[in-house]
Structure 1
Amino acid sequence: MMNNRNTTNLAQLRQLDLAQFKSNSQTIQPGDVFVCRQGPNWDSHKSIDEAIGRGAVGVIANKPLELDVPCILTPSFSSSVSLINQYYQYPQDKLVQIGVTGTNGKTTVAYCLNALLNRQFKSAYTGTLGCQFSDEQVELDNTTPDAISLLNLFHAMEQSGVTHNVMEVSSHALSQDRVSIVDFDVVVITNIGSDHLDYHRSRDDYIQAKLRLIDRLKPGGIAVINLDDELALAMIERCRSKARVVTFSMADPGADIFASEITSSCHGGQFRLIYQGQDLAVRTALPFTFNIENSLAVLAMLTAIDIEISIAVDMLATMEHAPGRSEVYMMENGATAIIDYAHNYDSLLNLLENVQRHSCGRIYTVIGVTGDRLADAAAIGELCSDRSDHVFFTTDNPQGVCQEKLFAAMTSQVSKDNTSSDHNRQNIIEQAVSCLMPEDVLLLCGKGPEKHQYISSNKNDPQPYIGDFAALMQAGGMRFPNGQLQVEAAIA
């Protein structure tokens, strides 16, 4: 009976001249099919009229309905996803799927790996910076989209000849089974710290969510593991009898890929790479020590898909940074500005420690806390105050939380008199730039390349923001006034 129903449903879909499938009525475009879902807080069957009004040519529902457009009935949302998967003929299985997770570094690793893969293959990137493949740039609501959005994207990738997809996989996505339709060929866990504890009830829940990426590996797949992470043994144990393990390390010579004689600065980094008896000199243009770790992860992933190590090392030497990740700019007076997406405690500590290690002047930090990280705001504020000469607290996606409440939390554990606050991020960047003297460093943290602010909790209503780079340009004093994204090594 179910098979007959599936056959009928597929036949109905194939009769439609449809564009894409959408589960959010507010994003429906003419030609889309609206997919209903009964969630714990909202039943989107109530949004059908809005979807049809926006141009939906069909509806996939979980209850019988009389509509003016074709209505395809399935018993559940998961059945609807399976139907769409059949309609697209399982496009995810036609790509080499590479998953990247971790508290920090996943955007840099995924974005840079994709850029290098595109030199030999036709690769796609899916993550915090959107979805990029061929000439397509698709904005995403989440780092890891829902299953229906992923199927739309995978189908488009397949149609354009993409062979590899490098995807950031967030802890939210793993917890919510958003990637349950994907069997990965290779995965990497860059590190596991603490994050999103507003959503995950405890750090252990957060850790378990991250480890679920290993469970999504194909039989015989490869897991790339950071031996320097305190949870490395738990990761390796999770792989037992399921996956081949490739390890990397900056501390353990027993790792499959080991970096020694490491030097790093804002100029980039260099190290000796020990791999299968070979000793290779490696250079990377990515600044700071934490990007040595990211570079090792990229090298390990390249070898996991059978790219010869000497070729991988040559590729790494010309690898460019991901947008908004440790972008370093010279100011005309000899100061330095760094735009970095660092926004959680671990990533901010990493960044501030590296800048302290390589700077001679004062450190100024511009930072906000997102509304979903209110619980972390006090620790983040204290860290930035302790590690900076002055901290400028400002707005960074409050998501419906009162900004004054966020400011109060950020300053609640600050013991030094070295903070300022301003709701207007552009204004406070201008204030910070006016303080800079030669050899000083200005860190613009949290936004990276983002050009919006989520002031309300409605992610479908972003407010425009000119972006940290444009705000820095307008504040004046840039060595490259024409706005060219030229990045210089500025810290000794």
Structure 2
Amino acid sequence: MLKFKNNSKNIKNGDIFICTHDTYDDRHKYINDAIKNGCKAIIIDKDIKANNKMFIKVQNTNDTYYQILNNYYNYPLDNLKLIGITGTDGKTTTAMIINDLLNNYVNSSYLGTNGFILKEKVIKTKNTTPSIDTLFKYFDVLNKNNYDNLVMEVSSEALLHNRCHNINFDIAVLTNIKKDHLNVHKTFKNYLESKTKLFKQANLCILNKDDKHFNYIKRKCNKNIITYGTKKKCDYYFYDINEYNDKTTFKLKVNDKIYNITSPLIGKFNVYNLVSAIATLNCFNINITSIINNIKKIKQVPGRLQKIDFKQNYDIVLDYAHTSNATYEVLKLFNKIKKGNIITVVGCAGKRYKDKRSEIGKIVTTYSDKVIFTMDDPRDEKVLDIINDMISKVKNNNYEIIENREKAIFEALHLAKENDTILILGKGLDNYMAISDKYVKYSDLNVIKSYFKKLSKEK
């Protein structure tokens, strides 16, 4: 068992504590905690005022920890292609699509918000991008099980905290960058700068040329760059997009050749996700015509525009959208394809994105026929305070407030008429509600199931 650890809380008797550091945290601060927990040696890269043989000084503890892990797991990335996906919205969908398509050709795995997925096996993960020691454990698992690829979401927070320090990516993909996660990064400049770390560590960068921060990211790329988007000079240029209730069609131009594509994934934003996936596979010398033939078999990405079917005469859609941009894109799509009214159930998370709450409130009341504001991971904030922030700039009166999320969903289901669409936003397939400092068992999907179970008993 590896005895080197960079979390003082995990130190046991005889372990070696390594004081790694990142933008906002320096583990040299936790030396006393590590000693109390029984560490036998401490690796540092700063001068410590102590004449103690326990201390081993190196030039850079982050580099040293990477080397230790790499040696311990026998250089696992030598036999593994690594694809990193980053961006504000679309990381999960893009990563899942790439992994899904790659599995038609090689043994590919996924790591991100939806867990660590090896074909049909799913291992739940605490973070979108785990700590570097956990990453190396996963790399080792993939090597021992003869996997060729890992497609992983790389969050800005992971980059901020150096969880991917020194890890070389074969391909890095940018979905988009919007103003987000300022509760962690403090400023948008910090957020943007943290995103660039991934592209500095990649052999090939696949960038969304339509994103307004494209040029900034491009300047940070070390190696080759491939572009995709709706600009004619993109390497993967798509146009003539048609959105339907059950599919999206578009044209894709690559190297002067035009492809007609029909995707089961709905929405223009999913065209961006899909084209970046096509570009990624094509960079592995997989023929575009072959990729297109496999697109029709793409699986529904769990919790992303996921339609729930209980034989009802209206649509129920679960989606993880929790940023203002993602919320707007979802509502814009359903306004294009709707047959009846749109009923939206939505909240905002506590201790997150305070400046976005009123913006989300305006978006949902503008593009929905009916809105039910409710709770969404309130943490230690009062649900009503969060909702009041959301409605502070709302001018429409097409909403009601039901703090209890289960009751809010029940009300939406009760109100729905034939051909209506109920959008339940924010949590996707999350199986918890963050209340105070606890994670209470909760699921939007289970609430919907209980509603129809109750309905069937009443008939």
Instruction: Report if aligned partners of 2:16, 2:43 keep a CA contact under 8 Å in 1.
Output: no
**Aligned partner letter, 1:148:** D
Q: Which runs of 5+ in 1 are unaligned?
A: 1-17, 53-57, 65-70, 482-492
Shift of 1:398: 2.3
Q: Give the aligned partner of residue 367 of structure 1.
A: 346
Shift of 1:81: 4.4
Q: What's the CA shift string for 1:19-73, capped at 9, x where partnerless?
A: 7976557779x99968565845995556559978xxxxx7764489xxxxxx996
**Aligned partner letter, 2:297:** T
Q: Give the aligned partner of residue 389 of structure 1.
A: 369
Q: Give the aligned partner of residue 219 of structure 2.
A: 237
Q: Give the aligned partner of residue 440 of structure 1.
A: 420
Shift of 1:180: 1.4
Q: What's the CA shift string for 1:339-394, capped at 9, x where partnerless?
A: 11100001001001011111132111111211322232121112112221222222
1:91 and 2:76 are equivalent in the alignment = yes
Q: Give the aligned partner of residue 133 of structure 2.
A: 148
Q: Give the aligned partner of residue 426 of structure 1.
A: 406
Alpha-carbon distance between aligned partners in 1 of 2:43 and 2:405, rounded to the nearest angstrom = 45
TM superposition score normalised by structure 1: 0.81
Q: Give the aligned partner of residue 448 of structure 2.
A: 472
Alpha-carbon distance between aligned partners in 2 of 1:156 and 1:334, rounded to the nearest angstrom = 45
Alpha-carbon distance between aligned partners in 2 of 1:120 and 1:418, rounded to the nearest angstrom = 50
Q: Give the aligned partner of residue 440 of structure 2.
A: 463
Shift of 1:478: 11
**Aligned partner letter, 1:169:** V
Instruction: Report if aligned partners of 2:303, 2:318 keep a CA contact under 8 Å in 1.
Output: yes
Alpha-carbon distance between aligned partners in 1 of 2:340 and 2:375, rounded to the nearest angstrom = 26
Alpha-carbon distance between aligned partners in 2 of 1:422 and 1:20, rounded to the nearest angstrom = 50
- Once the two structures are superposed, the pairs formed by residues 119-198 of structure 1 within 5 Å of their partners are 119-133=104-118, 136-198=121-183
**Aligned partner letter, 1:473:** K
1:120/1:182 CA distance change after superposition, 3 Å: same
Instruction: Report if aligned partners of 1:147, 1:181 keep a CA contact under 8 Å in 2.
Output: no
1:34/1:280 CA distance change after superposition, 3 Å: same
Q: What's the CA shift string for 1:104-124, capped at 9, x where partnerless?
A: 111100011112212221112
Alpha-carbon distance between aligned partners in 1 of 2:15 and 2:245, rounded to the nearest angstrom = 49
1:59/1:287 CA distance change after superposition, 3 Å: farther
Shift of 1:253: 2.2
Alpha-carbon distance between aligned partners in 1 of 2:32 and 2:425, rounded to the nearest angstrom = 40
Instruction: Report if aligned partners of 2:380, 2:435 keep a CA contact under 8 Å in 1.
Output: yes
Q: Secondary structure, in 3 states, of the residue corresponding to 2:184?
A: coil
Shift of 1:188: 0.9
- Once the two structures are superposed, the pairs formed by residues 292-307 of structure 1 within 5 Å of their partners are 292-307=271-286
Q: Secondary structure, in 3 states, of the residue corresponding to 1:179?
A: coil
Q: Give the aligned partner of residue 267 of structure 2.
A: 288
- Once the two structures are superposed, the pairs formed by residues 291-370 of structure 1 within 5 Å of their partners are 291-330=270-309, 332-370=311-349
Alpha-carbon distance between aligned partners in 1 of 2:330 and 2:324, rounded to the nearest angstrom = 10
Shift of 1:298: 0.8
Alpha-carbon distance between aligned partners in 2 of 1:37 and 1:136, rounded to the nearest angstrom = 34
Alpha-carbon distance between aligned partners in 2 of 1:224 and 1:295, rounded to the nearest angstrom = 13
Q: Secondary structure, in 3 states, of the residue corresponding to 1:417?
A: coil
User: Which of these residues, 243, 246, 252, is aligned with residue 267 of structure 1?
Assistant: 246
Select between 115-124 and 443-452 the one with higher mean Cα deviation. Answer: 115-124
**Aligned partner letter, 1:472:** I
Instruction: Report if aligned partners of 2:432, 2:439 keep a CA contact under 8 Å in 1.
Output: yes
Shift of 1:454: 1.9
Q: Secondary structure, in 3 states, of the residue corresponding to 1:339?
A: strand
Shift of 1:447: 0.7
**Aligned partner letter, 2:195:** K
**Backbone CA RMSD of aligned residues:** 3.0
TM superposition score normalised by structure 2: 0.87
Q: Give the aligned partner of residue 5 of structure 1.
A: none
Select between 104-113 and 129-138 the one with higher mean Cα deviation. Answer: 129-138
Instruction: Report if aligned partners of 1:126, 1:132 keep a CA contact under 8 Å in 2.
Output: yes
User: Which of these residues, 93, 96, 108, is aligned with residue 93 of structure 2?
Assistant: 108
**Aligned partner letter, 1:463:** V
Q: Give the aligned partner of residue 213 of structure 1.
A: 198
Alpha-carbon distance between aligned partners in 1 of 2:189 and 2:259, rounded to the nearest angstrom = 38
Q: Give the aligned partner of residue 451 of structure 1.
A: 431
Instruction: Report if aligned partners of 1:188, 1:297 keep a CA contact under 8 Å in 2.
Output: yes
1:35/1:85 CA distance change after superposition, 3 Å: farther
Alpha-carbon distance between aligned partners in 2 of 1:42 and 1:74, rounded to the nearest angstrom = 12
Instruction: Report if aligned partners of 2:402, 2:408 keep a CA contact under 8 Å in 1.
Output: yes
Alpha-carbon distance between aligned partners in 2 of 1:406 and 1:42, rounded to the nearest angstrom = 37
Q: Give the aligned partner of residue 202 of structure 1.
A: 187
1:187/1:73 CA distance change after superposition, 3 Å: same
**Aligned partner letter, 1:227:** K
Q: What's the CA shift string for 1:425-456, capped at 9, x where partnerless?
A: 22211111101011111001111111012223
Select between 76-85 and 43-52 the one with higher mean Cα deviation. Answer: 43-52
Alpha-carbon distance between aligned partners in 2 of 1:322 and 1:135, rounded to the nearest angstrom = 14
